[in-house]
Structure formats: structure tokens, C-alpha cells
A and B are shown apart, each in its own frame.
With several copies, the nearest count.
Chain A
Amino acid sequence: MAGHSPELREALFELLLRLGDDCLILGHRVSEWCGHAPMLEEDLALPNMGLDLIGQARSLYTYAGEVEGNGRTEDDLAYLRNDRQYRNLLLVERPNGDFAHTMLRQLYFAAFMEPYWRATCGSKDETLAGIAGKAVKEMAYHIRHAGQWVIRMGDGTQGSARRMKDAVEELGHYVDEMFGTDAVTDALAAAGIAPDPAALRPDWDRTIEMVFSEANLKQPQIAYPQRGGRDGLHGEDLGHLLAELQYMQRTYPGLNW
């Protein structure tokens, strides 16, 4: 981070929040399955993925706090911002739905983040490169695990295939937002700190295509892709999630736990 200009620091802070929020919210969603998964193996796998994501969120928030330089901790950033200040993708805040929705959401996100982190391993920002080095392996595992389930359910029974198709139809609306660019991503891409999200689309398409061809699924045409998460414009579910997530810190402010 040393040597970044003030503008670049600001962009970097914003990026770290976005990525941190993505990881925390998806990690939270995945953790909601805990003890309620369809089989014991998934009662292990889902918290495992949740842990990867919450671990990434912690690193990202901690670094965000350093970059910002106002002394905010990982917990300040996670627990003391409201709905409108959260920067996560709409995809990750979508309710769990059934297991088909949950696994497809995981695949979509991981298929984006795996190449994202892979590119970030060469970041000019060493701290971010360090976070990426660990995260890229985790995301590769998420792709494998979720991808296998998408294949099993897509090419399973008639009922499971129908559910997979519903999930594809539903979550398709939230795909494009991942690849969105703006002044923040442009500045960081130009500075060699973080990849241009738009450039990762071919990678993502390849991964999804590979899984979908085995799963008998097709990517839908989406007339009106949804965006807004990066600007803090969320759906109605996020507020309820935050009411749970933040309850203790809001009720007992400023204590050690």
C-alpha cells in the first residue's frame, strides 16, 4: 500500500469493502445451512466454504481498515455499516432457496473469483497479492464442489433437473453485475493493483460452459440484468440478514467478545 496516491488509496479502500462484503454476505448465507444440509457430508462442506469466505472477508476488512487509516477494525466494518453502506453484489445476498440455488450461486461466484484472485496474485499491492494467493485455492475448491453438485442435480432426476433450471433462470439476473466496471475498477486495473472484472468474463463463461454441458443446462438470455449492489442499492433481504448479523454489536456497543 505504501506509495499509492490518495486517489488510489481511496479506490483501493472501496474495492476492499466490495470484496469483503461479497465474502462476508455469501459466507453468512452459506452458514445459514449449518445443521440443515441434505446430508452430513454437506453439513461439513457448507461450513467449510463459509469459513473460507469469512476468512477472506476478515483479511480484506482488516486491510481496508489500514488503507483507510481511521483505525476501523474488521468488526467495525462488518457490524457498524448499514444496508445502504454495504457494497456486495446482489448475487451473494440472494436467499439460499433450495440446494440447487445455493450451489449454483456458489458456482457463479467462485467461477468469477477464482480467475479474479489468480490475476490478483500478481498485484502490485503486496498485501492484496498475499490475500489472493490463499483465496485462489479456496475458490478453485468451491468451483469443484459446487460444480459437481450442479452436474449431479442437473443430470439427476427429473425433479432435480427442474429445480436446477429454475435456479439458472433466477440467478441469471445477477451474473452481469460481477463484471461491471467503474472509476474504481478502472483506476485499480490501470495501476496494476486489481484485475479489470470485465476481462474475466471469458474465463467465467468457460467454467460455466464446462459444468453446464455435463449438467444439461443452458445459460438463459437475460433481458434486464440486475445491478445496484456496488452502489449500496440492495434488495429487501439484506436488511433482515444484517439485523441478525449485527444484533449483538448494535445491542452492546463497544465491548470485547
Chain B
Amino acid sequence: EAFLEAFQKRIDAEEKIEPNDPMPGGYRKTLVRQIGQHAHSEIVGMLPEGNWITRAPTLRRKAALLAKVQDEGGHGLYLYAAAETLGVSREQMTEELLSGKAKYSSIFNYPTPSWADIGTIGWLVDGAAIMNQIPLCRCSYGPYARAMIRVCKEESFHQRQGYEIVMTLAKGSPEQKQMAQDSLDRWWWPALMMFGPSDKDSAHSEQSMAWKIKRFTNDELRQQFIDATVPQAEFLGLKVPDPDCRWNKETGHYDHGEIDWDEFWRVVKGGGRMNRDRIADRKKAWDDGAWVREAALAHAEKRRDRMEAARVAAE
């Protein structure tokens, strides 16, 4: 009781909670779940974009895409490290991902059939991720907040790069423009779903807000994203696939149509286009790599033994 109150006071005073600080079980659990999910999203997120590395249309784009996918791996690494400060190992988290117990962002369960998707993912998906993540830079848990600062900086670079790809297509040949529009049509709604269920249906929101793990509601962030993105689409000469999307002078925001929450839950529950392929890919990488990880361990042990033997001999 008293502990919870004192903890909440620290939070309210915007003090950072650090790994060795006492914290309520629920706080730790929420963070582990959220950071793990976030880390997994970075890792699984390498796959849809990785799909185009071997087919990127120019060397410049190929290099940029490779660098981007590498950055995502890097984000995964910081985030796993942040989760490890809460006492959960990377192996454990990986197994939870592969068994389907841990989730990752559903957006990565959509396929990337066209090059334009590489632009759209940068523009919309990284754009939405940034909206979600900027407040996390002030998250009450120190290691997470610090990881997010670094992540956000890179994500906004990716977002601009993605937008630039889409712009090149939108200003290109008719078939390129068509590619860009088709891609926007496919990704728009899934991007809006990235902010999670409507506030009225969101399970974890309230407590997370109190703990300052979260600072805005799902619907607030979604609205921010729409307000920022619709003018960008207009500037490109592309149409957001929502007939109800229009500027509302009274609210000072863009209205939007109803989100298909059945689709959202279907994908969350494993019924999306690529859920099984994504996990199968990660599982194959993990299983095929087992002998490599074992070899590295075995070698490290041999080295340690040899150094130990040398030390003993020297004494």
C-alpha cells in the first residue's frame, strides 16, 4: 500500500525508475510485455521490407533499404537489452515470440507485393510508430525511455526516406503513380489500426497512463497521425481510401470513417495474410542458426578453459 503510493509519487514527480529500483509487479509485467512486443515488432518488421532488398530498383535504394532493415535489427537489440534490465532474457522472449505467446505489431502481417510498399511502410508505418514512440521517450522507466530516444531519431529518418520514395513514384510515370496509390490503399487502414483499439475497448490503457508508461490515448495518437498524414497525401496527389475523411473546421481535425475492428482482431489473433509466414520465417532462422549459437558457446568455453589453464600454469 504505502509502497504503491510512494512509487506513484515518484512517477508523478516525473522521476525515472531504474532497473534496481523497487517497482510494483504489475508495472514490471506491463513493461516487459510492452517492451518485448516492441522488440519483436522490430525483428519481425525486418521481413516485409527485407523482401525487397534483392529487388530494389537502384543501388542507392538498395543501400538505403539495407541500412534501414539493419537499423530495425539495432532497435530490436536495444529493446531486448532494455527488457533484460527487467529480468527477462532474450532467449525467453524469442521463445515466446516463436510459440505465438508474445505478440508483435500486426502491421507486419501484411505482405509487401510491390516496391511502393517500401515507401509506404516508411511513410505510414514508421510515421505511426513515431507518433506512438515520441511520448515513450518520456516514459517513466529509464532504460526504455533512453532506448526510445535513439529509436525515434532513426525512425524519423526512415519516415522521411519512405515519404521521399512515395514522392518519387507519385511524380513518376502513370504506372508508378498507380503503384503508389495502390500501396496507400492497402496500408492506410492497417496503419490506423497500429494505434490499437478505440479507447473505449482498450484493456491496458488506464493503468499505463497512471504509471506514465503511456501518455496519450490510442484515439488521441491516431487522430494526431491522421491530421499529420492526410495533408501529406494531398501534397503527393494521392487519395486516402476513406470517403469519410475530410477536414472538420469545428473540431480542427480530420474526420475519419469507421475502422474495421473485425479485421484488426482477426489479424491480432493470427488470421492475417502473413502471420504464419512471418513466424515460420523467424522460426526457421532460429532453428537453422542453433548450431551456430552452440558453436559460439562451445568455443567461448574452450577459450575460457584454456585461459584458466594458462593462468594456473603461470601461478
Kindly report which residue of chain A lies nearest to residue B48, judged by CB atoms.
A236
| Chain B 65-101 interface residues, beta-carbon cutoff 8 Å to A | 66-67, 69-70, 73-74, 76-77, 80, 90
A84 near B54 (CB under 8 angstroms)?
no
Report B's interface with A, CB cutoff 8 A: 43, 46-48, 50-51, 53-63, 66-67, 69-70, 73-74, 76-77, 80, 90, 111-115, 165, 168-169, 172-173, 175-176, 182, 186, 266, 269-274, 276-277, 281, 284-285, 288-300, 302
Stretch in A9-17, A48-56, A119-127, A198-206 with 4+ CB within 8 Å of B? A48-56
Q: Given A173-B276, A248-B55, A160–B292 Cβ distance below 8 Å?
A: yes
26 contacts between A and B (CB under 8 A): A28-B54, A34-B53, A35-B43, A35-B50, A35-B285, A37-B285, A38-B288, A39-B292, A40-B77, A44-B74, A55-B63, A58-B59, A99-B292, A152-B299, A156-B296, A157-B291, A157-B295, A159-B295, A173-B276, A235-B273, A235-B277, A236-B51, A239-B51, A245-B55, A252-B173, A255-B173
B299 near A156 (CB under 8 angstroms)?
yes
A31 near B271 (CB under 8 angstroms)?
no
Q: How far is the CB of A248 from the nearest CB of chain B, in Å?
A: 4
B293 near A235 (CB under 8 angstroms)?
no
Secondary structure of the B side of the interface?
helix
Q: How many A-B residue pairs have CB under 8 A?
A: 181
A177 within 8 A of B: no
The 6 closest A-B pairs by CB, nearest first: A38-B289, A224-B271, A156-B295, A160-B295, A38-B292, A248-B57
Interface string of A171-182 (1 = CB under 8 A from B): 001000000000
B182 near A84 (CB under 8 angstroms)?
yes
Secondary structure of the A side of the interface?
helix
| Chain A 60-113 interface residues, beta-carbon cutoff 8 Å to B | 61, 74-75, 78-79, 82-84, 98-99
Q: Given A36-B281, A248-B55, A50–B66 Cβ distance below 8 Å?
A: yes
A74 near B59 (CB under 8 angstroms)?
yes
